[in-house]
């Protein structure tokens, strides 16, 4: 990108919206670059509830347009664009009132199903069911009998958000986009009022260089206002950060065949099946502290445990919590003081010539946000540009996925791996599984599991570096795998092994290898410390005790 000629579009921000915008632009025939200050999906896009859903609670707010749009995108992703990454997940909505609640909830879920069916995007998802108390307890024996009078069962979808975002970036690169992580925008280039590109710094080397572009798209999420200030404009809208905390607990701590959705006084609380774990969350509180590393406090953890324990037969304790993560939702500022009532719809603006800003929205609708941002950028280009075609652009690993899945027993026999391992790899790499299995064939030791995180193979560490742009230990343990939230030790035991595998691929010295491990261990210790603190301010101070492996400021 350093020596590239002037680009048509430069995307700033490597979360899912920036990645979606890059894919949209490059598949229209535009020359595109995308830069990210840290790792792909290192912010909000790796710390979501990991759901691809219409959003039942938005029906209650009568936001039919948002729900319709999200259901359309859910169907596209699950059926066509990324069936290897997006899969159906069942939920149980416990009813607590005998008379009025069932018809109210039932009508809402019926409308949810009907909208999905009318859009032609609900194929493969079962319709909702009304359950008696006895049948509901059969589906979720973990619930207290006195906590419900019956239930409604419905289906949505889930995704590994970090893997999906990385797949979108990788797909864009496959079509010719230029992509650089650990590359921070420090200023915008100007000709008069017009933005004509960006000055960026390679955080690995400290080198600065200019990237010229006819249009620049600010897709930096919760950093939107900060990035807009580089253009010396306050912008047409502002973004507030809302903190959402999730807990990860072992699957055997809750006996249930289904996810659970609970009403809280502010919003909803999900109990989501996640492999051999459950993800429980989320909170919804204003956050005005460090944007890069939002910290979960003891108060956040207790809030989630207190609310989920109101319906559980065997209450969860702090000792059951295997992992914790906190993310920030970029919400469009409104008049309300409650972040749960701020807008989840997205907006696109053109605050100064040459600069497009896209903000707000929800993970599920990333593709539409990217399309809308590029539609706006195209208006500033002196050329005829085709319409968006990303409704038909399969993500890396999607093409041929069904055929590969049908061959899982043969793949297991050929590789010497258990068929359950092959199924797990298919759910992460889709039809690209052969690239991972080729590593194992060349070096059978890479077929061994990661210490303390045995859902993952050592080959996946190597692949994360050679094919997926991982440059640091944290990239592998927190995003290419999810060991940092799924392992009891949060990846500490795996860290030295992962560093040894990464070192020759990235040319690390012995000292660099040791530094990577020390930084990762310091991160884990700082996160654990923050989770013992009573409030946001003290938790933030504790989390900032661990510096970035590559400083971004």
Instruction: Look up residue 98 and give its two tokens.
Output: 């005998």
CB 322 within 8 A of CB 249: yes
Q: Tell me how far apart the alpha carbons of residues 138 and 148 are, in angstroms, rounded to a whole number.
A: 13
Give the per-residue pLDDT at 340.
40
Q: What number is the average pLDDT over the span 256-264? A: 94
For residue 213, the cross-strand partners are 7
Strand segments (E) across 178-314: 178-180, 183-191, 194-202, 208-218, 239-250, 259-263, 268-274, 277-281, 285-286
**How many residues make up the chain in this entry?**
553
> Does residue 344 surpass a pLDDT of 70?
no
Q: What pLDDT score was predicted for residue 335?
A: 33
pTM for this predicted structure: 0.95
Residue 207: closest CA among 169, 170, 180, 232: 180
Residues 33, 179: contact at Cβ < 8 Å? yes
Give, as one character, the DSSP assignment of residue 143: B
| Max CA separation in the chain (angstroms) | 70
Burial of 100 (0-12, 13-18, 19+ CB in 10 A): exposed
Question: What value does the mean pLDDT of the chain take?
Answer: 92
- Asked if residue 324 lies in contact with residue 247, where contact means CB atoms within 8 angstroms, the answer is yes
CB 470 within 8 A of CB 502: yes
CA distance 99 to 105: 11
Do residues 344 and 204 touch, judged by C-beta distance below 8 A? no
Find the distance separating the first CA and the last CA of the chain, reported in whole Å: 21
Choose between 141 and 100: higher pLDDT: 141
- Could you tell me what percent of the chain has a pLDDT over 70? 94
In this structure, what token pair is assigned to residue 422?
Answer: 């092959």
pLDDT of residue 148: 95
Confidence of residue 121 (pLDDT cuts 50, 70, 90): low
Give the residue, 57 or 298, on which the prediction is more confident: 298
Q: What confidence tens digit (pLDDT) does each residue in 57-103 have? A: 766 666 677 788 888 999 999 999 999 999 999 999 999 987 777 87
Whether 170 has a pLDDT exceeding 50, the answer reads: yes
Reported in sequence order, the residue ranges of 58-100 that DSSP labels E, i.e. its strands, are: 86-95
Q: What is the mean pLDDT of residues 344-367?
A: 91
According to the per-residue pLDDT averaged within each range, which of 228-237, 262-271, 333-342, 423-432 is highest? 423-432
Cα 288–Cα 294–Cα 298 angle in degrees, nearest 5: 100
- Two tokens, residue 412: 């297991």
């Amino acid at each position: 990108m350093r020596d590239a000629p002037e680009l048509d579009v430069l995307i700033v921000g490597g979360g899912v919206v920036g990645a979606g915008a890059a894919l949209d632009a490059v598949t229209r025939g535009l020359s595109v670059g995308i830069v990210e200050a840290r790792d792909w999906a290192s912010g909000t896009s790796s710390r979501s509830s990991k759901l691809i859903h219409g959003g039942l609670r938005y029906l209650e707010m009568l936001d039919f347009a948002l729900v319709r749009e999200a259901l359309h995108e859910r169907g596209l992703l699950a059926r066509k664009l990324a069936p290897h990454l997006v899969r159906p997940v069942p939920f149980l909505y416990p009813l607590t009132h005998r008379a009025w609640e069932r018809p109210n909830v039932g009508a809402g879920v019926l409308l949810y199903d009907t909208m999905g069916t009318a859009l032609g995007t609900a194929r493969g998802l079962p319709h909702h069911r009304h359950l008696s108390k006895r049948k509901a307890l059969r589906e979720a024996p973990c619930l207290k009998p006195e906590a419900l009078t019956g239930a409604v069962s419905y289906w949505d979808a889930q995704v590994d958000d970090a893997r999906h975002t990385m797949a979108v970036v990788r797909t864009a690169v496959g079509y010719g986009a230029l992509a650089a992580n650990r590359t921070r925008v420090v200023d915008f280039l100007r000709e008069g009022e017009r933005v004509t590109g960006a000055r960026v710094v390679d955080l690995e080397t400290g080198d600065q260089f200019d990237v010229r572009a006819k249009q620049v798209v600010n897709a930096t999420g919760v950093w939107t206002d900060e990035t807009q200030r580089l253009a010396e404009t306050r912008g047409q809208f502002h973004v507030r950060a809302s903190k959402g905390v999730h807990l990860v607990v072992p699957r055997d701590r809750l006996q249930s065949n289904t996810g659970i959705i609970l009403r809280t006084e502010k919003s909803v609380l999900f109990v989501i099946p996640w492999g051999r774990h459950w993800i429980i969350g989320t909170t919804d509180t204003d956050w005005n502290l460090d944007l890069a590393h939002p910290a979960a406090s003891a108060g956040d953890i207790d809030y989630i445990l207190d609310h989920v324990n109101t319906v559980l037969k065997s209450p969860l304790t702090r000792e059951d919590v295997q992992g914790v993560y906190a993310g920030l939702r970029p919400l469009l500022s409104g008049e309300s003081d409650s972040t749960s009532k701020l807008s989840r719809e997205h907006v696109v603006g053109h605050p100064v010539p040459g600069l497009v800003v896209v903000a707000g929205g929800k993970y599920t609708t990333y593709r539409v946000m990217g399309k809308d941002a590029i539609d706006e950028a195209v208006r500033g280009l002196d050329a005829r540009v085709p319409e968006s075609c990303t409704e038909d652009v399969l993500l890396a690993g999607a093409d041929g996925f069904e055929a590969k899945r049908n061959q899982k027993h043969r793949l297991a026999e050929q590789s010497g791996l258990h068929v359950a391992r092959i199924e797990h790899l298919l759910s992460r790499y889709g039809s690209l599984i052969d690239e991972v299995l080729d590593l194992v064939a060349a070096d059978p030791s890479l077929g061994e599991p990661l210490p303390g995180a045995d859902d993952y193979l050592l080959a996946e560490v190597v692949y994360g570096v050679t094919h997926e742009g991982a440059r640091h230990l944290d990239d592998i343990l927190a995003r290419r795998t999810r060991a940092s939230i799924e392992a009891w030790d949060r990846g500490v035991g795996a860290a030295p092994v992962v560093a040894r595998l990464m070192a020759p691929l990235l040319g690390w010295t012995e000292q660099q290898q040791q530094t990577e491990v020390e930084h990762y261990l310091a991160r884990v210790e700082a996160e654990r410390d923050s989770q013992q603190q009573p409030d946001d301010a003290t938790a933030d101070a504790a989390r900032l005790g661990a510096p970035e492996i590559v400083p971004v400021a």
